[in-house]
Homo-oligomer: A and B are copies of this chain.
Amino acid sequence: MRDLSEGTRFLSLNTATLRGQWDLRQTIDGIARAGIPGISPWRDQLQAMGLAAAAQAIRSHGLAVTGLCRGGMFTSFDRAGLARALDDNRRAVDEAAALGARCLVLVAGGLAPGSRDIAAARALVGDGIAALLPHARACGVPLAIEPLHPMYAADRACINTLKQANDLCDRLGDGVGVAVDVYHLWWDPDLAREIARAGAARRILAFHICDWLVPTTDLLLDRGMMGDGVIDLRRIRGWVEAAGYDGFCEVEIFSKENWWKRPGEEVIATCIERYHRVC
């Protein structure tokens, strides 16, 4: 395993971690000031700042873009809805290409509106990614399927285990991989095996870290700082690295009542300290 106890060489910050206190420009500057070499922005923030300005600012600091959040949301039964989703995903690919992002993160989408058929939703996701893939390949942007925790199956993502994502990748071929997020996957009894499987296929495109708090008070916005929860971060990183992953550890924390309320400099300093000590 890599030694993370000094420096920040493999550290990236997802801009959502600072969404409560900083806009994208402040976040880019703050990350660069702290000597963190990686960033993963969200599309709404790019739009607010302007893609060209954001790309220029990120480039001027020499930051690696470890992912763009996010594409996906493929689960509509409506032909017009599917077309809109595909258009939007193609724009997301273009933005990822403009930023030189290492991947476009895909959040599958939950049940189709008005539907209770999760198997049908899962089929739509496969079809949607297949339809997006030619453009992504042409642009050289890898697509990273991110399985989300089963508590988001209804409304955000019907891909809930790494096995499902691996199975999809097997079917879809080149140009698609997975994002391994410890928050979503830590509980999965098949996690070690599926990480090894993903690594053997060279498809681990991103590794996201944070922690699962006990108690968790909000389904979406109560993620913990690494070390404050119960996820065995080092064990999972060990599996990911043993599978051949040598990329960044990207911190992604949605924390409405805690970390989003603190000064950005304090959040970043804490991320670095925990990256050294508990990741």
Which of A's residues lie within 8 Å of B, judged by CB? 110-111, 116-118, 122, 149-151, 153-155, 158, 160-161, 163-164, 186-189, 212, 214-217, 219, 229-232, 235
Whether A118 touches B219, Cβ cut-off 8 Å, given contacts A111-B230, A154-B230, is no
A186 to B158, CA, bound (A): 11
Partner pick for A219 among B111, B153, B216, B232, CB 8 A cutoff:
B216
- Rounded to whole angstroms, the CA-CA distance of A67 and B213 in the bound complex is 31
* Bound Cα distance A232, B142 (Å): 34
Scoring A149, A163, A189, A232 by chain B CB atoms within 10 A of each residue's CB, the highest score goes to A189
Cα-based distance from A229 to B111 in the complex (angstroms): 11
Contact B187 A150 (CB under 8 A): yes
Contact A116 B230 (CB under 8 A): yes
29 CB < 8 A contacts A-B: A110-B214, A111-B230, A116-B230, A116-B232, A117-B232, A118-B186, A118-B232, A122-B189, A149-B150, A149-B151, A150-B150, A150-B151, A150-B187, A151-B151, A151-B216, A151-B219, A153-B186, A153-B187, A154-B187, A154-B212, A154-B214, A154-B230, A155-B215, A158-B187, A163-B189, A164-B189, A215-B219, A217-B219, A219-B219
A161 to B187, CA, bound (A): 10
Task: Give CA–CA (A208, B140) in the complex, Å.
Answer: 48
Q: How far is the CB of A10 from chain B (nearest CB, A)?
A: 21
Taking A116-B235, A118-B187 as given, write out 4 further A-B residue pairs in contact, using a Cβ cutoff of 8 Å, ordered by the A residue number: A151-B151, A154-B212, A155-B214, A219-B219
Residues of B within 8 A of A235 (CB): 116
Distance, CA A164 to CA B163, complexed state (A): 15
Which B residues are CB-close (under 8 A) to A150?
A: 149-151, 187-188
Q: Which residues of B contact A153 (CB under 8 A)?
A: 186-187
Is the pair B116, A231 in contact by a Cβ cutoff of 8 Å?
yes
Q: With both chains docked as a complex, state the minimum distance between the C-beta of A168 and any C-beta of chain B, in angstroms.
A: 11
C-alpha spacing A160/B229, complex, angstroms: 19
Q: Give A181 Cβ to nearest chain B Cβ, in Å.
A: 13
Which residues of the partner chain B approach A189 to less than 8 Å between Cβ atoms? 122, 160-161, 163-164
Please pick, from B117, B118, B187, the residue contacting A160 in the complex, using a CB distance under 8 A.
Answer: B187
A212 to B215, CA, bound (A): 20
Q: Considering the complex, give the chain B residue whose CB is closest to the CB of A220.
A: B215
Q: How far is the CA of A270 from the CA of B158 in the complex (A)?
A: 30
CA distance A150 to B154 in the complex (A): 14
